Amino acid sequence: MVIVGFSVPHAHLHLVPLHKSNELFNPELFSRANPGELEIIQEKIKKEIDKSRI
């Protein structure tokens, strides 16, 4: 494991698409994301970020 980037203050988040509240903690419920669905979500996130820019 390598940890880098602490010389520049920053933050990032991981967005994990979930369909059920316990899905994150139960590996039996994991499923592969549909690339098309992820692209739609990506575009929605980009639009919201663009709206928040002044």
Q: For residue 33, what pLDDT band results from cuts at 50, 70 and 90?
A: confident
Cα 54 to chain centroid distance, Å, stands at: 23
- Enter the pTM of the model: 0.50
Q: Under the phi-then-psi rule, with left for phi > 0, alpha for psi from -120 to 50, and beta for the rest, what region is 9?
A: beta
Q: What percent of the chain has pLDDT over 70?
A: 87
Distance CA 29, CA 15 (A): 17
Is the pLDDT assigned to residue 7 strictly greater than 80?
no
CB 23 within 8 A of CB 29: yes
